[in-house]
Structure 1
Amino acid sequence: MAHGVSGFEFADIAKIVQERMSGLVDEIRTDALGNIIGVRYGDTTDPLRPKVMLAGHMDEIGLMVTKIEEGGFLRFTQVGGVDPRILPGHEVIVYGKKPLTGIIGVKPPHLTSREEAARAHKMSDLFIDVGMPEEMVRDLVRVGDVVTFKRQVSELTSDVLAGKSFDDRAGVAVMLVCLEELKRYKVAADVYAVATTQEEVGLRGAMVSTYGIIPDIGIAIDVCHAETPGVPDWKTSSMGKGPALTQGANIHPKVYQGLERAAKELGIPVQPDVAPAATGTDAWAMQVARCGVATGLVSIPERYMHTSVETLSISDVEKAGRLIARFISSVDACFVKELKKWT
């Protein structure tokens, strides 16, 4: 699968997104943080067309080399929210002068004390072994090189996939479905489809792209937690039963209502999601940019978030793209004007 650790999206995933977006928008540009911004202009000649911004982040969590030790073993730290418990035994790719396959090793259980065996591994206990002599490793790898999980997509059923980085490449896929679907509509608004960078380390791509675009409406597309053994039902949504729509302080009620209405018109089931404060997604950065943006959040239910086997339903992705396109087709100057009426 494509790689693109936060801050290094340009290495692979950005090129793929540009290729997939080509033909669906009128122009594609990038900014200083590497955001890919596809613009589809509205189908009217009105110079004051509303602006709708879509945001799905293309970066992924990963690792970064911090030290080359005797024997050529690599110590590392995390980029984004990596759980050390999932790491031992993982195959990885180290992006040095050339990509190197490695494995994350740890002291074997036969050689650990009872105290060590009783606790979870810390990241400082782990190392990457690329199987090469130290001098060769030092020639090919530098401190600061990034590392990604080596994992291909697994098709569990015809509708369920498992793989790495669906958080949030699934959101980018939703945007592409939406752009394709918009061909069916006459659209008054200009649509800015933004594959954002550095979400996993602080929503940075969404911050700067929203500031530059100055949208009237922003819709973030991300993943949420799907039903999983041991997790309370009220904290999850169900895979295969449609996307989740978030309500809360981060969400403009009229944008939420518009998305909900679009889903009903298409007969698409949606699930409720609640966020009393900030959502931890690009929706937060979009909402508070400049003088504020009316924001919505559409999420794809996903199991095993921030692992290399994130699992989701393809049909949820397709439905999310369709309902967002329907919502966009309803946005005009009157709708935007109503967003500022609170009484």
Structure 2
Amino acid sequence: MDTIEFLKELSNYNSVSGYEQNLSKYIHNVFQKYTDDITYDKLGSLIAIKNGEKNYQNIKIMLAAHIDEIGLMVTGIAENGSIKFTSVGGVDPRTLVAQEVIIHSEKEIYGVIGTLPPHLQDSDSKDNAFKMEDLYIDIGYDEVKAKELISIGDIITIKREFKVLESNTVTSKSLDDKAGVATLLECVKELKKLKHQADVYNVFTVQEEVGTRGAITSTYKIDPDIGIAIDVGFGKTPELEDADSIKMGKGPAITLGGNIHPQLRKKLIVIAEKYNIPYQTELDPGPTGTDGRSIQISRAGIPTLVISIPLRYMHTSVETINIDDIKNTAKLIARFISEIDSNNLEGYLCY
């Protein structure tokens, strides 16, 4: 399946944290063509296993990309029929004004997010950012009809059409981290061309945006020798300093920080340079805001890497990414996996 086509399908699915089931089924159907076994953990994360060549150590490498997205949830219906809501995950209210939305009730209900027009705001309010409680969804119905169609707790997503821009770049909602999911598909395709000893556990984690929960349970279930979180990083825009961002189209960023196993990181860099795969460095001295932080401290501790795909406008409905970065990330991971075997694994895991 073409990378852009797959990423478009992923983005079009509603997969707000805690409500990822339909997307899991779609990913299951795609990956069963490329992997040897598919299972789930008890929280709902999907695990697609591609077996390696038989080896006495039974090496396990876990690749994690989260499938959940940020979204909204209905909290109330006002007397005039407008819908009040709250966030699921890190939603910035400033990005919501005038957005089209879909309320996922028994059937999809379309609406728009409105607020007080600027003409009616007092002078003190005009320069202030809107808060979540200032916003509402207008679906066109009065209170009685709205309550027939919509329930408290219904999930809401932004209605956004996937678009292809110039220079092999695309934009849509929820490319964080559906770009990571697309990377795993490209990676298993690459692995079909290579020999590898390790069994590769492609894990599509749930509820990352509300606390990296799926990574906790899936890592505990698998107990891998190496864990790699594939997520997105802050793509360079004019207002960002170079130290705080990574450049679009310049390859994946290999994270450096306390969450990262130093010897495995060095090996990634050797691989990138050996195969002329472009890469960047991302600094994150803390636990990282990815599944990597939960993978690392699971069980007795898992040697962990985090690889970031540059993405602009994170946690908005116009997230933007370069397809070449996805493909280069996949190549880097596949080549790394192909060079891990029973003769060198112990040496790489030493500090």
TM tier, smaller: over 0.9
Taking the aligned partners of 1:53 and 1:120, their CA distance within structure 2 comes to 42
Taking the aligned partners of 2:122 and 2:344, their CA distance within structure 1 comes to 65
Could you say which residue in structure 1 is the equivalent of 2:13? 2
Could you say which residue in structure 2 is the equivalent of 1:126? 135
Could you say which residue in structure 2 is the equivalent of 1:291? 300
* 1:260 positional shift: 1.3
Could you say which residue in structure 2 is the equivalent of 1:35? 45
* CA displacement, residues 38-57 of structure 1 (integer Å, 9 cap, x when unaligned): 0111122x353200000000
Taking the aligned partners of 1:147 and 1:251, their CA distance within structure 2 comes to 35
Q: What is the DSSP-based 3-state SS (H/G/I as helix, E as strand, rest coil) of the residue aligned with 2:343?
A: helix
Could you say which residue in structure 1 is the equivalent of 2:23? 13
Could you say which residue in structure 2 is the equivalent of 1:275? 284
Could you say which residue in structure 1 is the equivalent of 2:227? 218
Could you say which residue in structure 1 is the equivalent of 2:191? 182
1:234 matches 2:243:
yes
* 1:133 positional shift: 2.8
* 1:295 positional shift: 0.5
| From 305, 308, 316, the counterpart of 1:307 | 316
Taking the aligned partners of 2:195 and 2:311, their CA distance within structure 1 comes to 32
Letter in 2 for 1:42: G
Structure 1 length-normalised TM = 0.97
Whether the 8 Å CA contact 1:62–1:146 is kept in 2: the answer is: yes
Q: Name the CA shift for 1:198/1:121 in 2 (closer, same or farther; >3 Å).
A: same
Whether the 8 Å CA contact 2:79–2:142 is kept in 1: the answer is: no
| More displaced stretch, 300-309 vs 225-234 | 225-234
Whether the 8 Å CA contact 1:294–1:339 is kept in 2: the answer is: no
Could you say which residue in structure 1 is the equivalent of 2:77? 68
Could you say which residue in structure 2 is the equivalent of 1:159? 168
Whether the 8 Å CA contact 1:242–1:270 is kept in 2: the answer is: yes
* CA displacement, residues 92-136 of structure 1 (integer Å, 9 cap, x when unaligned): 100011111111110111111112212110000000111123222
* 1:225 positional shift: 0.6
Could you say which residue in structure 2 is the equivalent of 1:101? 110
Could you say which residue in structure 1 is the equivalent of 2:9? none
Runs of 4+ in 1 over 3 A off after TM superposition: none
Taking the aligned partners of 1:341 and 1:17, their CA distance within structure 2 comes to 35
Letter in 1 for 2:25: K
Q: What is the DSSP-based 3-state SS (H/G/I as helix, E as strand, rest coil) of the residue aligned with 1:297?
A: strand
Q: Pairwise CA RMSD of aligned residues?
A: 1.1
Letter in 1 for 2:24: A
Whether the 8 Å CA contact 2:173–2:317 is kept in 1: the answer is: yes
* CA displacement, residues 53-95 of structure 1 (integer Å, 9 cap, x when unaligned): 0000010000001111112211111000000101010001000
| From 81, 84, 91, the counterpart of 2:90 | 81
Could you say which residue in structure 1 is the equivalent of 2:338? 329
Structure 2 length-normalised TM = 0.95
Taking the aligned partners of 1:70 and 1:305, their CA distance within structure 2 comes to 35
Letter in 1 for 2:126: A
Taking the aligned partners of 1:336 and 1:199, their CA distance within structure 2 comes to 29
Letter in 2 for 1:131: G
* 1:264 positional shift: 1.5
Q: What is the DSSP-based 3-state SS (H/G/I as helix, E as strand, rest coil) of the residue aligned with 1:181?
A: helix
| From 18, 35, 38, the counterpart of 1:25 | 35
Whether the 8 Å CA contact 1:49–1:332 is kept in 2: the answer is: no
Taking the aligned partners of 1:270 and 1:158, their CA distance within structure 2 comes to 18
Taking the aligned partners of 2:102 and 2:310, their CA distance within structure 1 comes to 28
Taking the aligned partners of 1:31 and 1:211, their CA distance within structure 2 comes to 10
| From 191, 203, 212, the counterpart of 2:212 | 203
Letter in 2 for 1:22: Q
1:48 matches 2:57:
yes
Structure 1 regions of 5+ residues with no counterpart? Answer: none
Taking the aligned partners of 2:144 and 2:223, their CA distance within structure 1 comes to 51
Whether the 8 Å CA contact 1:287–1:294 is kept in 2: the answer is: yes
* 1:340 positional shift: 4.2
Taking the aligned partners of 2:300 and 2:294, their CA distance within structure 1 comes to 12
1:172 matches 2:178:
no
Q: What is the number of residues matched between the two proteins?
A: 340
Whether the 8 Å CA contact 2:61–2:227 is kept in 1: the answer is: yes
